[in-house]
Amino acid sequence: MSNDGGSITGALRAWKGGDRNSIRRLWEAYFHRLVGLARGRLDRAARSVADEEDVALSAFASFCRRAERGEFPRLDDREDLWRLLFVITTRKAVNRARHDLRA
């Protein structure tokens, strides 16, 4: 396993173990990827940088709340984490784009 992978998996395990500070490492590791993912899902005409960042922030916050409630029983490593973040971010971006089109 790479050092980066170990650090992400280690931060995830520390967070699951109650270390609230480790969530910052996860945020820093994934924020830019989430923004890029949101950018690719939002309509270019209706999007701004704030929209992409808002989607990423909302997705990560949603992930944290749901994980703390134990909604993700299979959250053991960086691959599990990325899959969840990918799905949550994609859905939020699609919902945001639909909402913007309605308006």
Domain residues of the chain, as ranges?
A: 3-102
d(Cα 63, Cα 24) in Å, to the nearest integer?
13
- What is the structure's pLDDT at 48? 60
pTM metric for this prediction: 0.83
The pLDDT mean for the chain works out to 85
What's the pLDDT tens digit per position in 39-79? 888 866 556 656 889 999 999 999 999 998 989 988 989 99
Give the number of C-alpha atoms closer than 13 A to the C-alpha of residue 74, restricted to the C-beta side. Answer: 5
Architecture of domain 3-102: Orthogonal Bundle (1.10)
> Of 59, 4, 11, 62, whose CA–CA distance to 37 is shortest?
59
- What is the structure's pLDDT at 62? 97
Collapse the DSSP code of 86 into the 3-class scheme (helix H, G, I; strand E, B; otherwise coil) and give the result: helix
CA-based radius of gyration for the chain: 14
